[in-house]
Amino acid sequence: MTVSYRQPGVVLTDHRFTVPLDHDDPAGETIELYAREVVASDKTHQDLPWLVHLAGGPGFGAARFVGRQAWLGRALEEYRVLLLDQRGTGASTPANRQTLPLRGGPAEQADYLTRFRADAIVRDCEAIRPQVTGGAPWTVHGQSFGGFCTVSYLSLAPEGLATALITGGLPALDAHADDVYRAAYPRIERKVAAHYARYPQDVERARRIADHLLTHEVVLPGGYRLTVEAFQSLGILLGSGDGSHRLHHLLEDAFVRTPQGFALADAFQEQVQGLLSYAGHPLYALVHEAIYAQDARPTAWSAERVRSEFPQFDAAKALAGDEPLLFTGESVHPWLFDCDPALRPLRETAELLAARTDWRPLYDPARLAANEVPVAAAVYHDDMFVDTAHSLATARAVRGLRTWVTDEYEHDGVRVDGPRVLGRLLALARGEV
């Protein structure tokens, strides 16, 4: 049963689909996918082409827009849009600490989660596309990890695509997770330096908070253990357009005087809990490094291992001298599964995934070199989350792919200036610019 309803300027329809858990076993176990159809209210009865949106992540459901927010308004000028909650996210069959024990123990949970990568998401799209479009190819818009999925789509099932649009999500085709993080840490360091140049007062504020965490045990209201490494991971904010300002406002009111002396303010702790908790997107932590795995090499907690090659990120060493505390960014570490109550029951599952050695390739370089689908990609110069050099190498490897390289935006450019970014990519894909 489908249900339609209205928001300002749009008509929404909820859809639910049943797909195989393992597409190599179509008669086996199934899971449910949820997607929200959006069409402009003045185009409800028009025969429009479809655009399916693949959100960033991994582990995040599609955005819950109100009306024509962000890039959606531009898309609705000519498309019906399908906002898909990728498997395990949003309102699709969930995968989290509450549901994964239904699979069995950690080994069974880890086996289950190997089916939650880009290749399975692409096959989900192909399974539901005939039901949505009647069999016609559709346009895909992939943001961040959604762009990784789009490159997999071009590799695995290009016949399903009319056009491919990618924002901040051109992956390296053959890089191991170690290569990704060796490129990432210097980039993160540049972002932190830029933040301190903008807000020099934050150097002392961040050092003071870190010193407090090194000498006090802090448990946030929701049960999150706030260690200094967890505090440093707030640097993920620096990858968004307004993130530096948000981090500054967070740091400026961190402490309050109490009868026992200075303590971290309740308001600060509440905000940090919301920023650091994985309760709403545990798949991000569980399969994040697996999105880079394509052969027999285990990921083996790559971000943690590679971080040791960059001693300037060691908080204790920074505080022992006069160096500023360096924040970190988009990386997953084993200590997260001790800090976060949403992840603690899944620690052994995560360990098994990190040790896995039977990952399948996600991209087909030969097929990408022969690509015939119009493809356009926005590459954000010095994107904190996706290495620019890796993205441009992939752009050269995909036949006919056109890039727009810009330093006007951070990783969330399509959210900040959606009509312009999406419009530019559509024009590139159509050869209009």
Supply the residues annotated as catalytic. 144, 358, 411
The encoded tokens of residue 374 equal 């119009």
Q: Give me the sign of the Cα torsion angle 419, 420, 421, 425.
A: positive
Which residue, 84, 87, 88, is CA-closest to 53?
Answer: 84
Q: Strand 138-143 vs strand 161-167: parallel, antiparallel, or unpaired?
A: parallel
Tell the burial category of 421 from Cβ atoms under 10 Å away from its Cβ (0-12, 13-18, 19+).
Answer: buried
SS3 labels along 70-98: CCHHHHHCCCEEEEEECCECCCCCECCCC
The encoded tokens of residue 334 equal 């084993």
Amino acid at 31: I
The encoded tokens of residue 213 equal 């965490």
CB-based contact 156:119 (threshold 8 Å): yes
**Residue in the block written with tokens 């339609």:** 4
Alpha carbon distance 124, 225 (integer Å): 37
* Strand order across the 402-406 sheet: 3-7, 10-20, 30-40, 80-85, 50-54, 138-143, 161-167, 375-380, 402-406
Tell the burial category of 200 from Cβ atoms under 10 Å away from its Cβ (0-12, 13-18, 19+).
Answer: exposed
Amino acid at 224: Y
Grouping H, G, I as helix, E, B as strand and the rest as coil, residue 124 is helix
Tell the burial category of 92 from Cβ atoms under 10 Å away from its Cβ (0-12, 13-18, 19+).
Answer: buried
User: End-to-end alpha-carbon separation of the chain, Å?
Assistant: 43
Which residue, 395, 331, 372, is CA-closest to 171?
Answer: 395
CB atoms within 10 A of CB 213: 20
DSSP state of 313: G
Alpha carbon distance 244, 81 (integer Å): 32
Q: Give Cα separations from 380 to 93, 216, 230, 403 (angstroms).
A: 33, 39, 27, 10
Alpha carbon distance 128, 132 (integer Å): 6
